[in-house]
Structure 1
Amino acid sequence: MGRPVMIALIGVDGSGKTTQARALAARLREQGIRARYFENAGGRPLWNRLAQALGRADGTALFGRTVYPALEATVRAAAMARTVAVARLTGRVAVLDRWTWCQDVIMAARGDRGRRAVRAVYAVFPRPAVVCFLATSPGVAQWRVAARGIDTEELAHLRALDAAYRALPEFGSFVTLDGDGTPDEVAAALDAVVDAAVDAVAGPAPRRGVKKGPFLYRRR
């Protein structure tokens, strides 16, 4: 069985990657393309809730600066392994909410040790056909996180995450989209990007509502 088309959305917390990934998978299915959304998280909300229930500030405070990154990286690796296995078995277009770079970036932003080891282990995972970075201003991202009412993010941390993404050796190969746009604007730009990748495997399909406008940045 050939490799499925994998499309990854990455960006800081509050960039809209989860919302856009879910919506993209749904739009592809509406067009008759077999697609599935995959979340590839490290379990931070779960660990933070557990920590708070035990009277600690967050997962790092509960498990420590050495154990917590290893736990988070392991959970994310398990999620990504499941994603690859299911996508290959079903042959569906895989829309990825986060991928390997997200763990590297969050470890860089926190100053965790072990980044090199995690990158080496994560090298076993295939690179998606398309990687879209939702470039979102830290202030906008912070507002969105607060608006959803699940957790909070410090502005300094969001700035560190954004800087870490841009410092990745692979960053120049990502497609950068304007994450500050409205959901419809980001979705239109995203649809324009994924057309070629999906058509290469699934064959040309009509794209409804696709606008190739100023919100699609050039590949850098």
Structure 2
Amino acid sequence: MIIVLTGIDGSGKSTAARALVQAVRSRGGKAMLLSNHAGRRTMSILAASLGVQLPPRAADAAETLLRVTNVLVSHLRACCFDGVVIMDRHLHCQLALRTTRGLPRGRFLPWLLSALPRPAAVVHLDLDPAEAHRRITVRGTDSETLADLVAFRDAYAGLPEFGSFVQADASLPAAELAQRLLQAVDALPGGPGDSGKGAAVTN
């Protein structure tokens, strides 16, 4: 079973992914965390240190190459694992980033999404951009403007796939959010707690 987590920067994707894996393991289940990063933070820091700024298309090309590589490796690893696979980010993230940069959606990433095994659920961590900006400022490892986070949130909402995403309240404490996500996993068709009802993570 593959669960994908998406969300704007600062929404707590990595924290929620780790907490969900721990929650599954704590009750005797098998879980594995796989990250599908695109190296955006590293490239931004490097570009800033060199005093240069990559054109949007160049930045997207570099990120897409790394993201696609990570996604393909993650799916290969998932095929060999008997348990719950939590993927931190996926191709949806790159598609949303393209929108924020004013770039076209393209054909390759949507095609690859349709060709890869379909996740049991894509969970979108919904968080107010102002709170996400506050979190990013506190951790101090990267920087994002509030305007960029608002644009990123809107880009996600505009994805054709967004209507099928499971919405999760990312303002909840990590432990509580993990339990909500675990309940959603249980309720998925074929999940350990399948009761024939759909999954939802609400307030």
Fold in common (TM above 0.5):
yes
Aligned residues: 198
Tell whether the 8 Å contact from 1:138 to 1:159 is kept in structure 2 after alignment: yes
Q: Does 1:146 align with 2:137?
A: yes
Question: Aligned in 2, Cα 1:216/1:65: closer, same or farther, shift over 3 Å?
Answer: closer
Residue number in structure 1 paired with 2:197? none
Residue number in structure 2 paired with 1:49? 45
Q: Does 1:101 align with 2:92?
A: yes
> Where does 1:29-44 land on structure 2 (aligned, <5 Å)?
29-44=25-40
Residue number in structure 2 paired with 1:83? 74
Query: Unaligned regions of 5+ residues in structure 1, if any?
Result: 206-214
Q: Which aligned runs of 4 or more in structure 1 are off by greater than 6 angstroms?
A: none
Question: Aligned in 2, Cα 1:194/1:204: closer, same or farther, shift over 3 Å?
Answer: closer
Residue identity in the other structure for 1:164: A
Which of 107-116 and 75-84 deviates more?
Answer: 107-116
**Quick one: distance in 2 between partners of 1:116 and 1:139?**
33
Question: Aligned in 2, Cα 1:123/1:200: closer, same or farther, shift over 3 Å?
Answer: closer
Taking every aligned residue pair, what percent have the same amino acid on both sides?
35
Q: Partner of 1:132: helix, strand, or coil?
A: strand
Residue number in structure 2 paired with 1:24? 20
**Quick one: distance in 2 between partners of 1:113 and 1:54?**
28
CA shift, 1:160, in A, is 0.8
TM-score, L = length of structure 1: 0.82
Residue identity in the other structure for 1:200: G
Residues 7-58 of structure 1 deviation map (CA, whole Å, 9 limit, x = unaligned):
01111001111100011112212222121001101111221232233222xx
